[in-house]
Structure 1
C-alpha cells in the first residue's frame, strides 16, 4: 500500500477521475446503508462488500479490485495484507471504541471497568488488528445509567458521524486531509493488545461464587437480550433472562 507521504496530493476538483473506494460494511445495518448513500452522494466510485457474520470468507472477486481507499465500517471481515495493498492511498478502519479499547468487546470492557468516557476511532489499517496509526479518536462520556444497549446506540451514531466527516473531508480536500489528521492525532496511541471475543465470553460467564457487587458489574457490562451473561453448572448453561432484580 502506498505511503501517505509518497502519495500525490490532489483534490477532486483538480482531478476529474472519481475516487475509487472498496467499502466493507455489515448486512442489515442502517448505519452501513447511510454510509454507502453518502459515498454515492459525494460521487465516489464504490465497490461494496457486506459481512453477515464472524468467520465468513471474503468474496474471491475482490482480489481484482484496485483503487484509492479501503473503508471498513462495522465489517466483521479481517482483511489480509494482499487486500490492504490494493488501496493506492490508504485503508481506513472505523473502530467502535477509543484507543484505550482495541479489538473485540471493547464497549463491554469499558463498562466493566467503570470507565468515565468512551469513544470511536478512525485509523490506518495494518496486518495487526487495531494496530495502525490513528487518524482521529473522538471521545464522549459514559453515564452511570448506561447499559450495553444505550452505550452501543450512542457509539454507532458517533461512529457514523466520524465516517461521514472523514469521507467528506477526503472528497473535498483529497488525501492531504488524512495526512493533516494523522499529524494532529500524533499523540494518540493504541493502549495494550487487541482483545478477542473469547475474552468477552469469559467475562460473560459468571463464576458460581461471584460476589454481589461483581455480579452487578458483569450484568451491566454484558447483558443484552441476544447475548445475556450465563452460569455453567454441572454441564448445564443458565442464561440471565432479565438484568432487573426480582424484588420480594
Structure 2
C-alpha cells in the first residue's frame, strides 16, 4: 500500500519520490512496479493544473524522483532533493516538447509519434534525454487512437527505465544517455494556451482547415468552438478517425 502523505516503511531500497496522476491506470501500475523493483516509494498525486505540493514533500530526500503524467512542475530545490536523478516520462517524442504535443503532431501530419524519458531541469521538456521510443501514425489514426498507444508506450518506457535503474543504477543511466546521444529536443515547449487558441475556430475558417483541426484538436471534453458576439458555441460529439 502506497502512503500519499509520508514515506513508506520499506527499508533497504533506494528512496523514490513518485509523481503520478489521479484516476490513471498507468500510475497505479507504475506504483506496483516500483514496489516490485524494491524501491522505497513516496507517492504524490496530482489532480490538475495549479495544485500546490503537499507540505511533507518539501522535507523529502532520497535517490530518485520519477514523474509520470504529473501536472506538477518542479523547482530546482525539489529537483536537487534527488541525489542521483530526477526523471520525467514525457508523452511525446523529442520533436514535440510541452503540452498538446499529440494534437500538433496530428495537425502537422507527422508520420510517427512517440514518448521520451529525460532528466528534469527547471525548463519544461528540456533536460538530457535518457531514452525515446517511437511508433508510426497510421492512415486511419485519430486523436483517441494515438493517445491510447501513447499511454501504452509511456508505461513500457517507464518499465524499461525503472527496471534499468533498479538493476544498474547510475551506470545504467550514464550508458543509456550515451546511447541516446543523437536524440535532441526540437524547439521550445508548446504551451496549453497555444492549443486553446487552435481550438477556437475563426468564423471564416475554410473546409480544409476545419477538417485538420477537427481531426487533431477536437474531443467532446475539449471541444472545438467559435465565439460570436461574446458567446461561445461548442461542437458536440466525437470527431471521426480519418
TM-score, normalized by the shorter chain, greater than 0.5: yes
Shift of 1:242: 2.6
Corresponding residue for residue 210 of structure 2? 215
**Which SS does the other structure have where 2:205 is aligned?**
coil
Residues 51 and 76, structure 1, Cα contact 8 Å, conserved in 2: yes
Answering whether residue 64 of structure 2 is matched by residue 69 of structure 1, we say yes
TM value normalised by structure 2: 0.93
Residues 142 and 215, structure 2, Cα contact 8 Å, conserved in 1: yes
Counterparts of 1:60-99 in structure 2, within 5 Å, are 60-99=55-94
Residues 219 and 243, structure 1, Cα contact 8 Å, conserved in 2: no
**Which SS does the other structure have where 1:174 is aligned?**
helix
Residues 51 and 77, structure 1, Cα contact 8 Å, conserved in 2: yes
Root-mean-square deviation (CA), in Å? 1.2
CA distance in 2, matches of 1:180, 1:244: 43
Corresponding residue for residue 113 of structure 2? 118
TM value normalised by structure 1: 0.90
Residues 112 and 220, structure 1, Cα contact 8 Å, conserved in 2: yes
Residues 115 and 133, structure 2, Cα contact 8 Å, conserved in 1: yes
Where do 5+ consecutive residues of structure 2 fail to align? 1-10
Distance 1:144 1:185, change over 3 A: same
Shift of 1:228: 1.1
The list of structure 1 runs, each at least 4 consecutive aligned residues, that deviate by more than 3 angstroms after superposition, is none
Counterparts of 1:160-179 in structure 2, within 5 Å, are 160-179=155-174
**Which SS does the other structure have where 1:77 is aligned?**
coil
Instruction: Tell me whether 112-121 or 137-146 shows the greater mean CA deviation.
Output: 137-146
Shift of 1:17: 3.2
